[in-house]
Amino acid sequence: MRLIKLLIILLFVLGNNVLAQNIVRGIVYNENKVPLEGANVFIPMLVKGTSTNSSGEFELTGLPNGKFDIQISYIGYANQIVPVILGGAQFELDIVLTPASIETEGVVVSSGYSTTQHQNAVKIEVLRLNEHHLMKSPNFMEMLTTVPGIDMISKGNGVTKPVIRGLSMNDVLVLNNGVRFENYQYSNHHPLGIDEFGIETVEVIKGPASLLFGSDAIGGVLNFIKERPAAVGKLEGDYNLQLFSNSLGMVNNLGFKVSADQFHGGIRVGQKTHSDYLQGGGEFVPNSRFYEHSVKLNGGFNGKMLSTNIYYDFNMQKLGLVEEEAIDLIASRGRKPSVYYQQFGTHLVSQQSKIFLGKTKVDFNTSLQSTELAHIGNPNEYELQMRLTTLIYEAKVLFPSKPGNDYILGAQGVNQWNRNINNRETILLPNAFSSGYSIFGLAQRSFTRFRFQAGLRFDAKQIKSNEVGIPSEPEYRASVDRKYNNITGSVGATYRLNEYFLIRANGAAAYRNPNLAELTSNGPHEGRYEVGNISLKPEKSVEYDVSAHYHNDNFLVDVAGFVNTIGNYIYIAPTGALNGGLPEYRYSQDDAYLYGGELGLHFHPKSVQWLHFKTNYSMVIGKKRNGEYLPFIPANKLTFETGFMGKKFGLGSKPYLLIAMNYAFAQNNIDPDETVTPDYILVNLSMGSSFRLGNQPLEVNLTVQNLLDKKYVDHLSTLKEVDLYNPGRNISLSLRIPFRASIR
């Protein structure tokens, strides 16, 4: 009781500094000092924003004290990021935006604090999914592969896993709006588990990021950032429809959101249905069908001392498994999975709060996630069923500092339960409980053109599982009680020669603890017999990155290189023996290293503003200590894109035409258990425009993937094992209907 009283007194004393009203207002102009209507003004740290009126004016009220980055954006103009320090007074801004054909910088949140891409010592790529000219695909993960260095392991359109610089599965951490996403990510047979509905951007960290996120971030991070709330005083929403010829697919989603001065909320529902897809040449792939639906709710409050947001996500997936048993049973195309499919049902509740205590800010985040996994063999016959429940909690303190400097101290905890339910025949993973705790510190300091970042982290984890079976049986699994602890850190710097050119260098140590599947597996899984290894040690990685970036208003070049050495790299490989009539695979580990890099060019000729050229190249080599190549390493990729973007064409506005060519080099650097994959070229086409029916805007997009209906196989497609190819020609039609109304 005494502690509670002291805390209340402390909050009261510190809160005296935030009772005054903070107001930010201003006008946004173009380069000719003409006010811009509809410019977006957004404070990422508070998840709060508005838009300018017909006079270019905006106003944000009820803001807490502290340091904030305000991002001002408008189509066709360079983003402007204005840092402000609020202290109980009115803040006036006059913003002049300059035309730019290339969007070069934005505020990112995956760095631990709200900062810009160029300020951060760790390179963070941003993919904006709300850009209407983005190539549409039945496979959400395929849209992310437009970022150099990002690939995917696929088992058809519905089952895909992200790959960052050659690392995948549990070596890549997936975040749902900053929350660790836990849904049995260890297997390439399991899906990503996050759909694109209501996702505005994806932030990508390439390379170790254990300092902020802990285990599983040894290869990098994908953070799926939710759409921002409606502008203050507005009701906003949109309906989206996509039709796909190759898989006879249909995708729908509908969202509404509303914001007042202090409260905001929203809802989005979505659905996907796809039949078996067609390979290049026209033959269908049996059981590649899948179905998915989701519901997403959110609400939030912004006050003078507290900013909080609450999210609820539900996602249900039914995914056909393209395996020999299913191929033998399915004679014609279908839409509904009925045999040999997996079902994932996920509930995720999270709250993210920021408490403003004078010049100090405290982040307090919690989440509870439950994922139920079931494998169905024959119709309505459950082979296995289990539930993974994850509780995560985190607190971070951002201490007062001078502009350009940031200091963070944080603590995190994770509790996780795996339970087999309904007494199914197969126990894939034993009942188990794991707990992990960590503390970390991070500092950034600026000196003229240099910005330095350094941090340190300590983690402790325990995994305890029950025994499975009888000791005399071949599939017996003894109980496990393992403890791990790790110390990791990173150091990096950014040197900004001028507003156009910067260089980054970063070194980071990361780790990954063995997971339950790697330690305890002993039984059949997806057509093979998997055997775990109780003696596995944590993976430990040290990576060095160097990158350079140059841009002006019509030209951008970005180049990056890396070397990643991994001690005790964990992988699964065939033993050459049969176990229970199935090929046996065992988890093993060895020291390994990966190296490579990416190059990107983007050019808009000043004399021909409607034309643009874009080129990306990425490569990675991965080897074990004995000189053998690592499995599932993507082939080198080279992409070319030519775009035509205008302001007006007939009845349409903002028309565009994009022609892209993707070249995958032959992958001859293969693991002994893999086969060589030939090179291939794909041609893609996308076109679209915005229209108006009366006062109602519409956005229409037509995309053709694999225009020439090329019969090819990607090196990371697991369907290569059963002699099936990637999708052939796919024509998609997309329609977006946005709507907006004032509530004042």
One-character DSSP codes across 488-544: EEEEEEEEESSSSEEEEEEEEEEEE---HHHHH-EEEETTEEEE--TTPPPEEEEEE
Please say if the pLDDT value at position 248 is more than 90.
yes
Q: How far apart are CA 407 and CA 456, in angstroms?
A: 12
CA distance 182 to 278: 32
CA distance linking residue 111 with residue 354, whole number of Å: 16
pLDDT of residue 112: 67
Cα separation, 60 vs 41, in Å, equals: 9
Query: What is each CA distance from 251 to 199, 318, 444, 676, in whole angstroms?
Result: 15, 15, 43, 35
Query: Best-predicted range by mean pLDDT among 105-109, 138-142, 664-668?
Result: 664-668
* Beta-carbon contacts of residue 3 (< 8 Å; ≥ 6 apart): none
DSSP one-letter code for 171: G
Tell me what the mean pLDDT of segment 700-710 comes to: 94
Please tell me whether residue 98 adopts helix, strand or coil conformation. coil
CB atoms within 10 A of CB 481: 9
Report the helix count and the strand count for the chain, using DSSP H and E. 5, 42
Asked whether residue 26 carries a pLDDT value surpassing 60, the answer given is yes
State the average pLDDT over residues 39-52: 84
Query: For residues 480 and 45, which has the higher predicted lDDT (pLDDT)?
Result: 480
Q: What is d(CA 169, CA 135) in angstroms, rounded to the nearest whole number?
A: 25
Please answer whether residues 193 and 199 qualify as being in contact, where contact means their C-beta atoms are separated by less than 8 angstroms. no
Report the pLDDT averaged over residues 215-220: 84
pLDDT band at 657 (very low <50, low <70, confident <90, very high): very high
CB-CB contact of 510 with 488 (8 Å): yes
Helix or strand (DSSP H, E) at 310: strand 306-320
Q: How far apart are alpha carbons 415 and 7 in whole angstroms? A: 27
Find, among 115, 95, 103, 96, the residue nearest to 78 by Cα: 103
**Residues 66/88, Cβ–Cβ less than 8 Å:** no
Q: Which two tokens stand for residue 202?
A: 């994806």
Residue 660 pLDDT > 90: yes
Domains and CATH numbers, the chain: 2-99 (2.60.40.1120), 140-742 (2.40.170.20)
Q: CA 527, CA 505: separation in Å to the nearest integer?
A: 44
pLDDT for residue 189 is more than 80: no
pLDDT at 51: 85
Q: Output the pLDDT for position 445.
A: 87
Query: Which residues does residue 662 pair with via DSSP β-bridges, in sequence order?
Result: 639, 682
1 pLDDT tier (thresholds 50, 70, 90): very low
What's at 732, amino acid-wise? S
Which of 113-117, 239-243, 621-625 comes out lowest in average pLDDT? Answer: 113-117
Residue 564 pLDDT greater than 50, yes or no:
yes
Mean pLDDT of the chain: 87
Q: CA–CA separation, 291 vs 271, rounded Å?
A: 8
Q: Tokens for 586?
A: 């065992």
Report the alpha-carbon distance of residue 256 to residue 737 in Å, rounded: 12
Residue in the structure block whose two tokens are 């190549």: 629
> Which H or E run contains 743?
none
Q: Which residues pair with 509 in a beta bridge?
A: 542
Task: Report d(CA 559, CA 206) in Å as an integer.
Answer: 13
Separation of alpha carbons 592 and 220, rounded Å? 17
The 3-state DSSP class for residue 45 equals: helix
Q: Which tokens go with 45?
A: 């740290």
Percent of the chain whose pLDDT exceeds 90: 41
Which tokens in the block code for residue 328? 């033998």
Phi, psi values for residue 118, rounded to 5°: -80, -20
What does DSSP say about strands 66-73 and 80-86: parallel, antiparallel, or unpaired?
Answer: antiparallel
Tokens of 88: 């109980």
Residue 345 has pLDDT above 70, yes or no: yes
pLDDT recorded at residue 242: 94
First-to-last CA distance in the chain? 45
DSSP 727: B
3-state SS, residue 198: coil
CA 102 – CA 97 distance, rounded (Å): 13
| Position 674 confidence tier, pLDDT thresholds 50, 70, 90 | confident
